[in-house]
Structure 1
Amino acid sequence: MWSDGSDTGLKDAHGVTFMSFRVTFLGTGGAVPTTERGPSAILANREGDRLLFDCGEGTQRQMMRFGTGFSVSHVFFTHLHGDHILGLPGLVQTWDFNDRSESLTIHCPPGTRNHVKSLLRTGGHDPGFPIRVNEVSPGNVALRAAEYEVRAFRTNHRTRAQGYALIEDDRPGKFDRQKAEEELGIPPGPAYGRLHEGDPVELDDGRVIQPEQVVGEPRPGRRFVYTGDTRPVDETVEAAENADLLVHDATFASDYADRARETAHSTGREAARIADLAGAKRLALVHISSRYAGDPSPIEREARSIFENAFVPDDGRRIEIPYPDA
């Protein structure tokens, strides 16, 4: 099940309400903004953890326009071209005006920390809240949270560049309540929770029940992958293996394939091949060139000829990502 973001109380295949994971496309345009599309910015909200991937010009206004809120804890820069970073100084200043005290971490490619620090000083503003700039190399974990991680992977652009994969931990398998109660005689109560969490339980009659007797195989979490600007590369295929949502550079249609190679971008067709090879479930085509401002259908059409579940999102589109077994 895919949602436009308006659904609440979504349930998995077993009728259990799952932790929300919503992606909002704040900016889907290329280097030159248009009236329809702003520069690159994507907000992922996983159960209240708001993670901002790139921050093009006007991102804070897009946040207000599309109602995402400003409570971002981490910013992930794929590279430091202007259309991916120039929204940050204004957003930081707004946070400061709003008396933000929570720390912010900005993740960036190796060798770019000083450039990010210079960006933060643009306009002579000195933020009143802690900001940490974290260089992370492709293949390494940028953020490790309680139930997921964000890992960097190598891309191919005209500068130091990388993509990011948000990968959830596996979840416990389905608890077989009928077997627990009827076959094993385990009384309902705290024992069920302990078994589901992986702990053995001793019953009053002395029997010890192991978790694997009533809990199925672990179930996979969700995977969201964002490339930023890039040529098609094998590393994206690896990072996006079985991804629930792959967001890939598709600046041009194939009529500008030569221009895509010259500028180290991808076409819709090339992005679709990557999604197909990775076994992704859905492909969002972004960084749309202003050449297609009025009609991005050529990019979407050629991508769908290879990968059916490809689409060009409009700015403001929201997608709820369900668990793979939902």
Structure 2
Amino acid sequence: MKVVFLGTSGSMPTAERSSSSTVIKIGRDLVMFDCGEGTQRQMVKARVGFRRDMIILISHLHGDHILGIPGLLQTMSLLGRERQLEIFGPVGLVDYIRSFSETLGGPSFPVIIYEIQESGKIHEEDRFKIIAVPVEHRLAGWSYGFIEEPRPGRFYPEKARELGVPEGPLWHKLQHGESVEINGSTVNSSQVTDPSRPGRKIVYSGDTRPTNDVRNLSDRADLLIHEATFMDELRDRAIEDGHTTVKEAAELAREAGVKKLALTHISSRYPDSEPLLNEARSVFKRTIIAEDLMEIEIPIPR
């Protein structure tokens, strides 16, 4: 599993940073957080394919987070995409996509849009689920948690054989936590496997003030991707605009016990990111400043 930062700038792009977008690559599948202007070009640079199974999670409806959607859908259509695409986001997302589709023409493939009405689980697949919690920003919006399902623990075939369980479908059940019946006796999964291993967790804040919801969602996350629009000397401005300072994001990461913090949504007022990194690491050492096209491998927990 890899996280690829496609765009890491604040409200406007710079020569070094594109507008907001980040993707998780899980095998051949993609989960995209936000889709700012220029996202599809960054996808080409990062060799992220347009035909993959994919969902898009929009944090809020400010232009620097959504202006890449029209071009992305058009390019997917030109390339002959047929797979369904699901897009999640705040109320108003349907009207936005409908408005440009009426002008530019709709995509050639199914697009299902979900406007999130309340906190909680919004999407689930065999391997992972997506949780949404509200932000504290000038516009209504959502922060997202990508939570991988637990992985089965190590299976011991010799123990299964000793207990009389024949190789085949019953082994599969035991590997996945189920009990089986053999000659009137029950064999539990715990007798032949190690405890399950926790799945990986990635949290994306979107634009927001620090909130308890994001802090709780980020509990022991493998990676927290949090906006850091201002250094702490401009905290009053951050409060006024509904953003987070570098120091505040680091404090939240420390309190949540995350493994790594990646700061993004970097304002154009900071062409040199070293002062931001120094401020963050004075609070939370395991901090990086996300850069466009940076990739982070998220290892499987041992």
Alignment of 1:140-151 (within 5 A): 140-151=120-131
Q: Which residue of 1 aligns with 2:301?
A: 324
Residue 16 of structure 2 corresponds to 36
Q: Determine the structure 1 residue equivalent to 2:82.
A: 101
Aligned partner of 1:197 among 172, 176, 183: 176
CA drift of 1:312 comes to 0.4
Name the SS of the counterpart of 1:23 in structure 2: strand
Deviation at 1:143, TM superposition (A): 1.5
Instruction: State whether structure 2 residue 287 is matched by structure 1 residue 310.
Output: yes
Matched, 1:77 2:58: yes
- Structure-1 separation of matches of 2:150 and 2:295: 24
Higher relative contact order (CA 8 A, sep 6+): 1
Aligned equivalents of 1:247 and 1:239: distance in 2? 12
Which residue number corresponds to residue 284 of structure 1? Answer: 262
Contact 1:88/1:120 (8 A) holds in 2: no
- 3-state SS of 1:315 partner: coil
The residue type equivalent to 2:65 in the other structure is H
Output the CA distance in 1 between the equivalents of 2:72 and 2:93: 20
Q: Which amino acid aligns with 2:149?
A: D
Alpha-carbon deviation of 1:132? 1.5
Q: Percent identity?
A: 41
User: How many Å separate the matches in 1 of 2:142 and 2:100?
Assistant: 19
Cα-to-partner distance string for 1:22-44 (whole Å, 9 max, x where unaligned): 11000001011111100100111
User: Which digits, 9 at most, give the CA deviation of each residue in 1:110-158, with x for residues without a partner?
Assistant: 344323322444x432222221111113423221111211111111110
2:72 is aligned to: 91
TM, length-normalised to structure 1: 0.86
In structure 1, stretches of 5+ residues that fail to align are: 1-20
Asked whether the equivalents of residues 225 and 239 of structure 1 are also in contact (C-alpha less than 8 Å), the reply is yes
CA contact (8 A) 1:117 1:133 kept: no
Work out the CA distance in 1 between the residues paired with 2:278 and 2:164. 56
Please give the secondary structure, in 1, of the residue aligned with 2:269.
Answer: helix
- 1: distance between equivalents of 2:118 and 2:284? 27
State how far apart, in whole Å, the 2-side matches of 1:224 and 1:197 are.
24
Q: Is the 8 A contact 1:137 1:152 kept in 2?
A: no
Aligned equivalents of 2:125, 2:184: Cα separation in 1: 38
Cα distance in 2 for partners of 1:112, 1:100 equals 22
Is 1:239 the counterpart of 2:217? The answer is: yes
